[in-house]
Amino acid sequence: MLSPEENTYLTRTGPGTPMGELFRRFWLPLFLSSELPESDGPPLRTRILNEDLVGYRNTNGHVGVLDAYCPHRRAPLFYGRTEECGLRCVYHGWKFDADGTCVDMPSEPPESDFKERLTIKAYPTYEVGGVVWIYMGPRERQPERPPLIEWTELPATRRRVRKWFHENNYMQGVEGDIDTAHVNFLHMDYRPETERNRIRQANPLFHLGEKHPKLTAMDTDYGMIYGGRRLLPDGNYYWRVTQWLLPAFSLIPGKGRRGGTAWIPVDDEHCVRYSIALSPDEDMNMEQDEARSPSGKPQQFTLKDGTIIDTMIPYGTKANQYEIDRAMQKAGHYTGIWSIAMQDKAMIEGMTRTVDRSLEHLGSSDIAVIAARRRLLKLARDLEQGIEPVAPTHPELYRVRPLDLISPEANFGPLLEQHAEESRVPVAI
């Protein structure tokens, strides 16, 4: 468990907080490219790391991200006009480009140099992998590009990225993704015949192996790698080796088609989950994929302070109890909540928006969770001492793959060394 003070340190990411400053050293996902589909289309309201911003795609197709409010009288730029490579406030006509430069101030006399002396907060963006990324840290520390995670380099036919809004602190999502033990319970379906049990049908090893996996975690230059070992009836071991990538990404093992996630703080009580499916060697059936879980369009969500943001809201929420079906649960489905993502959402949102970790009682299955917390806390404390994290400026460190295999090897170190080449993504994908 963590003390209340450590928990606050870990979970708060606003400007000036130690964890917030650490997150600002990284490129972070902000929008799906599909949320801003057209040049000079309508802007989107957003919040990330406790900062309110507005994003728009300009005339040339570049995404600009500015302070949500005009620096004149703080009118909302969401209602602004996107035109001629800029966003114009409709209150008095002040116009800003993607760099934050005021390029027009028609409410002032032509001879005034006021606009030359005024800028608006603006952040750099980079678009790759179907995602618009944002960098919010010191300009002199800006990495060249976002991390080279495998899914960002695949063609659109071999990846699918979805975005879901969550009413919980980001760290609860991170911890859920590096908790392999919960799969044997939360995501199981023991009904005799069902087409909905995707995990058990695709990977019966979860059903056959031990329900108390042995975990080993090891720090890496890009974050952490951990192995979950389950003993099988034939004496071999089922290993799932998973990477957690700084500051809040995970890779999910699988055969052929794999997964990944990112948990990006909106503020201290909300976050966005990016859910990625990837198939490096063949195209995905996108129509079938969309039919299983439609992505929808941005919707309005009102935050506790009254601020409205535009985000992707899933069908399962606290308000509808994630569409739980108690009859299905009694029939053998472990939760009665159909979607795997909604099963996760119900658990991590239900912990309260920011869980009190001083009340926890952790066990042997929580080794990876403990390791990730320690890593983030150390990196944030190092940064307070002027020690910069290495990973943000070395995107190539993220060229890794998770492992999913059966092995007679009972120890993590030799297994990882034996399969090191298998876990490293080729330079050219």
Calpha distance 131→249 (Å, rounded)? 14
Calpha distance 245→34 (Å, rounded)? 25
Percent of the chain with pLDDT over 90: 72
What residue ranges in 290-412 does DSSP mark as E strands? 299-302, 308-311, 403-407
Cβ-contact 129, 159 below 8 angstroms: yes
Calpha distance 217→99 (Å, rounded)? 42
Q: In which residue ranges of the chain is CATH 2.102.10.10 found?
A: 27-141
**Could you please report the per-residue DSSP string of 142-182?**
--SSS---HHHHS-GGGEEEEEEEESS-HHHHHHHHT-GGG
Burial 205-222 (b: 16+ CB within 10 A, else e): bbeebbeebbbbbeeeeb
pTM metric for this prediction: 0.92
205 sits in which H/E element: helix 205-208
Measured from the Cβ of residue 32, the count of other Cβ atoms closer than 10 Å reads 18
Instruction: Tell me the mean pLDDT in the region 261-270.
Output: 97
**Amino acid identity, position 177:** D
| pLDDT tens per residue across span 42-94 | 999 999 999 999 999 999 999 999 999 999 999 999 999 999 999 999 999 99
Domain 27-141 adopts which CATH fold? Rieske Iron-sulfur Protein (2.102.10)
- What is the structure's pLDDT at 50? 98
Q: The domain 150-423 belongs to what CATH superfamily?
A: Naphthalene 1,2-dioxygenase Alpha Subunit; Chain A, domain 1 (3.90.380.10)
Q: In which residue ranges of the chain is CATH 3.90.380.10 found?
A: 150-423
Instruction: Tell me the mean pLDDT in the region 172-195.
Output: 85
Band (288; pLDDT cuts 50, 70, 90):
low
| pLDDT tens per residue across span 400-421 | 999 888 888 888 888 777 665 5
Burial 270-293 (b: 16+ CB within 10 A, else e): bbbbbbbbbbbeeebeeeeeeeeb
Residue 356 phi, psi (nearest 5): -85, 100
Cβ-contact 21, 383 below 8 angstroms: yes
